[in-house]
Structure formats: C-alpha cells, structure tokens
A and B are shown apart, each in its own frame.
Chain A
Amino acid sequence: MTSELFIQYLMAGITYGSIYAIVAIGFNIIYNTTGIINFAQGEFVMLGGMLSITFLQYLPLPLAILLAVVVTMGIGAAIEMLFIRWLVNPGILRMIIITIGISILIREAALHVWGANVRSLPYFFGNEISTIAIFGARVSPQVLWVVGTCSLMVVALNIFFQATSIGREMRACAANRIAAVLCGIDTRNMVTLSFVLSAGIGALAGAVMSPITYTQYDNGTGLAIKGFTVAILGGLGNSLGAVAGGLLLGIIEAFSVSVVPLAFQDAIAIAILLVILFVRPHGLFGSSAMAGLKEF
C-alpha cells in the first residue's frame, strides 16, 4: 500500500468516524441523565438536515442551520414532555420501545412531508469537487467542517458538564437520581434539557454532514445504528469514548475495503465489534460497574 493510499484510507476513516461520533455523543447525553438510549436520535440528525434545506429557501445558510437546530431542539423538548416526562419508573425496555416508536413516527411523517427524494445542503465552502490536499491525499473541505464540529462539540460538552452548574446538576442526575432530588435538583427539567441538548447536537450534525451524506427521510435509522454501535464500543455515557470508538470503527471500515469486498464491510466491522464486546463486555472505555447497573 502506498503512503498516499494509506492516508487516503485514513482520511476516509476519519470522515466516517466523525460522523458516527457526533451521533453517538447525542446518545450519550440522554443516556447520562436518564439511563435510556433514545433510538430517535438518528431522526434528530435527519430533521436537522431536512429543516436546514427547507429553511435555506428563505434564509441564508448560517441562519437556516441555526433555525433548524432551534426547531429540532423544540421537537426534542416536545417529545420529552409528551412521552417521557410523566412516566413513573419506566423500565428500560419500555423506553426503548417508546423511542423506537417515536423514531418510526418521525420517519413516516418526514416521508409524507418531504417525500422520498434525496436532498442536500450546498457545500459550505467550494463545491462538490473542490478539495484540499493533506499529505498527498485529497479531502473535501466539508470533511474538515464535520471533524471540526465534532471536536468543538466534545470540548464544549466537556466544559458544560464539568464547569457549569447546570452541567453538574445533569451529571448528578445520572450518578444518583434520588440523591439528586434530595439535593433539590429538578431532575425532570434536567431530563428535558438533555433531550433538547441532544436534539440540537443531532440537528447540527445533520446539517453539517448533509453535503457529504445527503439527507433523505430514512437516513436516521442507519445513522442511529452506527451511532449506537459506536456509543457501545466506546462505553456508554463516555463522550471521549464515543469519539475514540467512532474513529476506530470508521478506520476499520475504511481499511477493510483493501482486504474484503465492500459488500461485506459492515459484517466485518460488526464482527470485530462483537469480539471486542466479548473481551470487554462494557466497551472500550466504559466502567463495568455502570454496565452492570443498567438492566432490562
């Protein structure tokens, strides 16, 4: 393998990895405050893309994306208030089924609103064929947008959860819900906030990746599965783990192309994931105590 080809594979892997990682981070935020996996996370990504494309007809690009993020955040809040907020002691399986139901509903609604056609945002810089050379390999500038957004998000989230009082309260909810209530934290609002936050992150991701991946009503499912895989691989609840897991999966996928037919790429990547899980049953960076706590 020439060094140019190696770097080209690596860049492809980083592209895939960043996309997966952003989706996985959205999973982790809700998981951290509620202990549930929101399977509608992929639909937030799809909505972010679709809404930005729709708003772009009336607004300049940055405003269209901003508005799409805000609207998706509103949808996230509405979902939490309508379906999650008033449940008492919901079991994890019950929550999985409800979020799967929500995901199906959003997807079908999107099909009837936007149709089955593929759409995309324009490239933020340049167009479909402009590239930047990095160590002899060429990448689209949009890839840098995705990687940049992903890194910024991780940094911003870490600051938010470590340094702000709301962030710390959200972490308290995750660590011990009852103790958090006793300390006077309004855990319900924290859960709503986590949905708003992850919807916003998903929507932003959806807008930034739209020029690369395109946006279609059923994009969400595939992304959600990849995001879930990555979240598990990195260890649930661990944002840095999600980034590491995402990059690992992305790079495995990219390099697997050189040895096995592309058609089997997913099967190979998942098989490697299973082996990792069998060796480390709580993901690469997850804590085994946490994994043991959350049962169905």
Chain B
Amino acid sequence: MKRILGKTLCAFAATCLLSAPSVWAENIKVGALLAVTGPSSFLGGPEARTLEMMVEQANAKGGINGKKIELVLKDTAGNPEKAISLAKQLLEEENVLAVLGPSSSGETMAVKKIFEDAKTPLISCAAAEVIVNPLASWVFKTPQNDSFAAIKIFKEMNKLGIAKIAVLVDNSGFGKAGKEQLQKIAPDYKIEIVESEVYDAKATDLSAVVAKIKANEAVQGLINWSIVPAQSIVVKNIRQAGWQVPIFQSHGFGNIKYVEAAGAAAEGVIFPAGRLLMADLLPEGHPQKTLLVQYVKDYEGKYQETASTFGGHAYDAFMIFEKAVAVGGNDKEKIREAIEGLKNLPGTGGMYNFSATDHNGLTLDAFEMMTVKNGKFVPYTGK
C-alpha cells in the first residue's frame, strides 16, 4: 500500500523531470483557453475550430514575419478553477506571447488578475462589459459590448412605442451581464422593466414562467437575453401560449441552429447582431464584406457546419493578435501597445478601433438589427 503510494509519487517526480519546458525561440507561441467541452461547449467548440483553421491558414501563408505560429489550445470545460490552472500553465510553462479566450465571462474574470500580474495580453471571447470596464491594461475582448445591444433594442422599442417590458435571461454569465445592462440603460430610454426572470441554461420547458409573464397585462414587449439553446424554448412557449407580443432577442441569438430549433415560432423575432449573419447581403465595398464572406466559406467548407458569431469572436481575437504581433514582434509590451494602436480594422464583429482607454474597440455601429423570415436571418427594416 505504502509502496504503491511511493511509486505514485515517483511517477510525479518522473513527470517533472521528463517534461521540462521546451522553448522554441523561432516560433510564435499563442495560447488559447476555450470551453471546448462542458456546458459552454456550444461556444468553445466553434471558437476552437476557428482558431485551428486560422492558424493553419496563417502558417500556410508563411506565418507572421516569416515565423511559424504555434497554437497551444487548452480545454477549460467552462470551469473557472481549471481556467486558472491552465492559464498559469500557458504563462509559466509554455511561455506564450498572448492568450486568446476564455469563452465565458466567469472564466475571464477569474483569470484577469493572473494576466495583469504576468503582463501578458489576454484577448477574451466573452461579451460581458465588466471584462474591459473598468479597464485592465492587459485584457481585451472581441465581442460587442452588451450595452450596445441593449441600446439598439431600446431604440427600436421606442420606435414601436413599447414602454413596459418583460426581461427573461438565462443563468449563464452572458445572461447575467445582459440583465445588468438592461436594468441600467432602460430608464435612459423611458422603458420600464415590469417583469424579470432568470431561467436555467438546461431548462426543458418554460411554459409556466411564460404563463406568469403573459398574465401581466402591462407587458408590451419582451426581451429574451440568452446565449444557450434554451432561448429557443422561450420563444416557442410564448407563441404556443398564443401570445403575439413583440419578442426581442440579444446578439446571443446569432446562431442559425437556434432559429431552426424554434422553427415557426422564431418568425419575426428582432435582435441585434454582428454582420456575420448577413455577409452575403452586405453591399459590395462594405469594409467587412470580403473578410466575412471568406470566413463563412472557409469555415463551412472545412467543418460542414454553419458559421456562427461565436466562432467569429475567436476569428477576431486571432486576427487582432496577428496584426499586433506583426508590429510588436516578440515583445509583450509592444504587442499590447500595438493592439491599443489598431484602428479601422475590419473584423467579424465590426470595425475595431482600439485605444488606451477602449479595449473593445467597437461602437454601436457594430450591430445591425435583424429579424427572422422564413427560417432565415434577414435585415430588419422596421414596421
């Protein structure tokens, strides 16, 4: 018994000895912390596939400044404690130049301080505004700010004359951040939130809570702010209850799978989204057009699945890293400065204009209002 315990410890020791870090000075090493498995895998999966594809493409073109890019991808399974452990590993053992990810805001907030201490850029694929506001000097994010989506939705509501609304959010970090922004911004647009509920990401049916909200006759419109598949259940249950209330969704609806899941119920849902979903419809000469069409074509060709805005966040993260390294080389501080100096950079999420005080770089303009017609995303043109 003791002997075997001893052996186990010896095995530890052997691992320590054998896997001393190997440093390849020639390569550009970039880490990625993504929730490839676990409850957030619908985010981490497309993100990981996008990164792998892009690194392959970049290397086929000769890498950055003639150096090959080496991607060290770690699966956090959506657990903050794993993200912490893996982040330290990437920083101390792999000596990466920068890290892309994590996929969720909880994980990003958990590792934020580690990257501040290690003075290494972190380009998060999570949307919550709190990641970059208050500002941390080494932490960036690519998805559009939640407040932009909230403002877009409220503006549309003002046009439609909707003043009293219900808010339904999922219990992921995305839903939490959305709820906070909606509550904060609603008064600016003279909108009152009269019902507010949080549903479970793994909910199987939500007809009870829909019945409750429907019973409140003051409700004129509804915002369903979520990134998980259960958001389609909400839409379905509302229409099944025979309730024709205008439904607004968040940018988390930007995955055609969710429309397919909600089927006929998704018709007429209004939501803000990046232009990835309407790449084909953009006018020629739009700065994002070429890049979006190319990404969608490459991704769908390689993986036989529809490209979503989630993969797009990783696309932008890698592209920002690529541009910054081309300027900053092997120096983390220079890379950080280079990111802050990126201007008018088209990405899948919008036109990025970073600065020392703006680590998201996007504006309200990154979003277009869209709707669903005949099971497809189309631009929303108003009533």
Q: Which of B209, B236, B240, B265 contacts A257 (CB 8 A)?
A: B209
A127 to B212, CA, bound (A): 23
B274-296 contact mask (Cβ, 8 Å, vs A): 1 or 0 = 00000000000000000000000
Asked if A9 meets B208 with Cβ closer than 8 Å, knowing A118-B232, A129-B239, the reply is yes
Closest chain A CB from B255 CB (angstroms): 8
Known contacts: A108-B37, A128-B239, A216-B229. The answer to whether A261 contacts B198 by CB under 8 A is: yes
Size bracket of the B interface: 35 or more
A118 touches B239 (CB 8 A): no
CB <8 Å contact, A257 and B41: no
Q: Is A140 an interface residue (CB 8 A)?
A: yes
A212 close to chain B: CB less than 8 A: yes
In A1-36, the 8 Å CB interface with B consists of 2, 5, 8-9, 11-13, 15-16, 19
Give Cα distance in the complex from A216 to B152, angstroms. Answer: 31
| Cβ B42 vs Cβ A117 within 8 A | yes
Cα distance, A139 to B258, chains bound together (Å): 22
- The digit string for B180-219, where 1 denotes a CB below 8 A from any CB of A, is 0000000000000000011110101101110110010000
Q: Residues of A contacting B163 with CB < 8 Å? A: none
Residue B7 at the A interface, CB < 8 A?
A: no
- Report the Cα distance A115→B212, complex, angstroms: 34
Q: Which one of A5, A117, A131, A212 lies within 8 Å of B205 (CB-CB)?
A: A212
Contact A16 B204 (CB under 8 A): yes
Q: Evaluate whether A111 and B41 lie within 8 angstroms (CB atoms) in the complex, with A16-B205, A128-B262 already known.
A: yes
Chain B nearest Cβ from A19, distance in angstroms: 6
A254 and B208 within 8 A (CB): yes
Instruction: Knowing A5-B215, A8-B207, A214-B229, say if A140 contacts B240 (CB, 8 Å).
Output: yes
In the complex where A15-B207, A128-B264 touch, is A214 in contact with B232 (Cβ < 8 A)? yes
Q: Do B240 and A263 have beta carbons less than 8 Å apart?
A: no
* B242 interface residue (CB < 8 Å to A): yes
Chain A residue at minimum C-beta to C-beta distance from B263: A128
Question: Closest B-chain residue to A127, C-beta based?
Answer: B264
Contact assessment for B240 and A139 in the assembled complex, using a CB-CB cutoff below 8 Å: yes
Which residues of chain A have C-beta atoms less than 8 A from B45's C-beta? Answer: 115-116
Chain A residue with the shortest CB-CB distance to B266: A128
Given known A11-B207, A12-B208, contact A131–B198 (CB-CB < 8 A)? no
Closest 10 CB pairs of A and B: A118-B229, A128-B263, A213-B204, A12-B208, A116-B41, A8-B211, A263-B198, A254-B208, A12-B207, A129-B239
